[in-house]
Amino acid sequence: MRRTAFLTRILLLASFLAAAPALRADENLVVQASLRAAEEGLVLDADFAFELTPRLTEVLSNGVPLYFVVDFNLERRRWYWLDERAIAARLQMRVSYHPLSRHFRMSTGLLQRNFESLDEVLAAVKRLRNWLVADRSITFSDADYEASVRLRLDTSLLPKPFQLSALTARDLQLETPWKRFTVPAPKHLPAPVETREAPKGAGGTR
């Protein structure tokens, strides 16, 4: 009798574990994202979790740059009409490897940074800070908005042979699901705290 009860509990536990969603170590996702006010406007901070597949690592090591894109939208939901999109922003980060110097480089617009290892450059991609998504000229309604953000690999910028392979090969693809969060009345986000400290160095450089 006891043996039967024990086996029953084991079977129930096994069924529960089989039904529970499995969290993979290589799962791509947006860990956190938040919008805040700055002197220039609204800036986004976000942290991503992803790992390059062995094939993408090989592609990068062979001198082919990878283009990571962060998409951000801010919309006001309206039950009586189409949603009002206030912001649609896109940030591109180009990651490349230079065999001669054995350095990795991340380029965002005119900004370039060099890194000693693949782990270091990917850590920089995964940690997004102070991205200006809206300047102060944008006006908002006095209502709550829904923000959404994701990170993806832009396969359309790969060389043509890789573009064709990426249509069916999952190991050449990388994309997080959209992370959505509510922004209560963006026009009322706290303004940055004013500082009266003297500038550090000539010209007030940081």
Q: In 10 A of CB 56, how many CB atoms? A: 20
For 184, the domain range is 25-188
3-class DSSP state for residue 55? helix
In a domain, 196, yes or no: no
Whole-model pTM?
0.76
> What pLDDT digit, counting tens, does each position of 12-40 carry?
333 333 333 333 445 899 999 999 989 89
121 domain-assigned: yes
Tokens of 117: 């290892």
120 occurs within a structural domain: yes
In a domain, 10, yes or no: no
Q: Is 178 domain-assigned?
A: yes
98 has pLDDT over 90: yes
User: According to the model, what pLDDT value does residue 170 have?
Assistant: 84
Q: Which residues have CB under 8 Å from 125's CB, separation 6+? A: 48, 68, 93, 95, 106, 151
Number of domains in the chain: 1
**pLDDT single digits (tens) 167-206:** 777 888 899 999 999 998 786 676 665 443 433 444 443 3
